[in-house]
Amino acid sequence: MQSITPPATRLFTFVGGATGPWRVEHIHCIAGEPMTAASRLVVIPGTGAQPPQGSSWILRGITSNERYVVREEKSALVSKQEGLGRPDSKRAALIPIRKKAVWWALAQDERREIFEAQSRHIGIGMQYLPAIARRLHHCRDLGHEEPFDFLTWFEYASSDSAAFDELVKVLRASPEWEYVDREIDIRLVQEEV
Amino acid sequence: MQSITPPATRLFTFVGGATGPWRVEHIHCIAGEPMTAASRLVVIPGTGAQPPQGSSWILRGITSNERYVVREEKSALVSKQEGLGRPDSKRAALIPIRKKAVWWALAQDERREIFEAQSRHIGIGMQYLPAIARRLHHCRDLGHEEPFDFLTWFEYASSDSAAFDELVKVLRASPEWEYVDREIDIRLVQEEV
């Protein structure tokens, strides 16, 4: 959730390759074109930093204002959620998603209807708070050649891995997911080399 | 209005300087920091092109999905609006705007409430269709150091200049404009050198 005082940067770079504090457990292609393998991942705030040598891929995203969340939901989320970087959050997931052109051509009320009234995207995520912490990064408006529309980063304790599996399973079965045309599921374990 | 078939590019670069098909009539600073002078302007699709020599400033924006327009409004807009580049559209305006951080921290329903229920932003614009054609470009999520959040480009016939003045006057008097912290009004006349 974005506060009124902006953070140092809204841009984040995710680098998959041979180095980084996160060990890649697996990279599963859920829909569309797969991504190349990587054994480690590092998240770099901003875009100025030089990506480490031996990088397999680089994804960029920017945090932004909410597009669907209404006041009541925002207040409930803020009161329940916890931040990234908790000492117990030894597991993470990076889920890049692209939605079909037909999704983006819908009007705002049509997208909100599918997102929440039909799919309960916010309500389902709320059930897993504060265990599953999350930061959404937008890519679609960074440029017109970005490979994904969103990168969502999740952090949770090892004991919540099954809960996370359940969360993504429920969302993927929702009507909103009929509009997803590419999705990669990257699971990570925090493990300093 | 975005169609399902995407255009060749969603990115546009606006270059103020000494060259270009649009002669700058004036650059008025409505709010916040002013912009430097320029005598001509060119609009370049994409970002790959080299800006002409002697450029004073370069602004970039990307067209995107609607953030507030609901289905009924979208259908009404589509049926009433005309495209850019009409032979009679010898006048244009480029209006870069930045909104306050407090705007971006609002929930979606709060922004929509101010935007349309209180300010009638869509309804007012509709009254000036098809005379005033318009393309909205987003900048806020291009990066975290963009000088503006939006660039709106308007085109109209010389005989509709007074109507355009009225349109911006009405919008600037609306509650939405209390959230604007920088606005520049650049008026242009199509005039090949």
Give the percent of chain B with pLDDT over 70.
94
Q: What is the mean pLDDT of the segment spanning B67-81?
A: 97
Q: Is B101 on the interface with A (CB under 8 A)?
A: yes
Best residue of B11, B64, B144 to probe chain A, by most A CBs closer than 10 Å: B144
Predicted local confidence at residue B46, as pLDDT: 84
Instruction: Kindly report each contact of residues A137-140 with a partner whose C-beta sits within 8 Å and lies 24 or more positions away, as own/partner.
Output: A137/A12, A137/A60, A137/A61, A137/A62, A137/A63, A138/A61, A138/A62, A138/A63, A138/A64, A138/B141, A139/A59, A139/A60, A139/A61, A139/A62, A139/A96, A140/A104, A140/B64
Give the residue-averaged pLDDT of B48-53: 74
Low-confidence ranges of chain A (pLDDT < 50): 1-6
Q: How far apart are the first and last CA of chain A?
A: 31
User: Is A8 an interface residue toward B (CB < 8 Å)?
Assistant: no
Selecting from A64, A102, A109 the residue whose C-beta is nearest the C-beta of B4 gives A102
A68–chain B Cβ distance below 8 A for any pair: yes
Q: What is the CATH architecture assignment of A11-190?
A: 2-Layer Sandwich (3.30)
Tell which of B47, B108, B121, B179 to mutate to test the A interface (max A CBs under 10 Å): B108
pLDDT of residue B105: 97
Are B70 and A109 an interchain contact pair (Cβ–Cβ within 8 Å)?
yes
| Cβ-based contacts of B140 with chain A (< 8 Å) | 64
What are the contacts of A140-144 at 24+ separation with CB within 8 A? A140/A104, A140/B64, A141/B62, A141/B64, A141/B138, A141/B141, A141/B142, A142/A60, A142/A61, A142/A62, A142/B141, A142/B142, A142/B143, A143/B11, A143/B47, A143/B62, A143/B142, A144/B9, A144/B10, A144/B11, A144/B46, A144/B62
- pLDDT value, residue B193: 64
A104 in contact with B, Cβ within 8 Å: yes
Query: Is A101 in CB contact (< 8 Å) with chain B?
Result: yes
Q: What is the DSSP letter of B108?
A: H
Closest Cα partner for B64 from A35, A65, A69, A120? Answer: A65
d(CA A21, CA B79): 54
Tens of pLDDT, residue by residue over B111-155, are 999 999 999 999 999 999 999 999 999 999 998 889 999 999 999
Confidence of residue B7 (pLDDT cuts 50, 70, 90): low
Using the Cβ of B144 and the Cβ atoms of chain A, whether some distance falls under 8 Å is answered with: yes
**pLDDT class of B1 with cuts at 50, 70, 90:** very low
**Lowest model confidence (mean pLDDT) among A47-51, B52-56, B186-190:** A47-51
A53 touches chain B (CB under 8 A): no
Nearest to B17 by CA among B63, B55, B68: B55
CB contacts, 8 Å: A70 with chain B: 107-110
Q: pLDDT band at residue B181, thresholds of 50, 70 and 90?
A: very high
Pick from B18, B24, B170, B137: which is nearest to B91 by CA? B24
CA pair distance B121, B175, nearest whole angstrom = 10
Beta bridge partners of B183: B31, B97
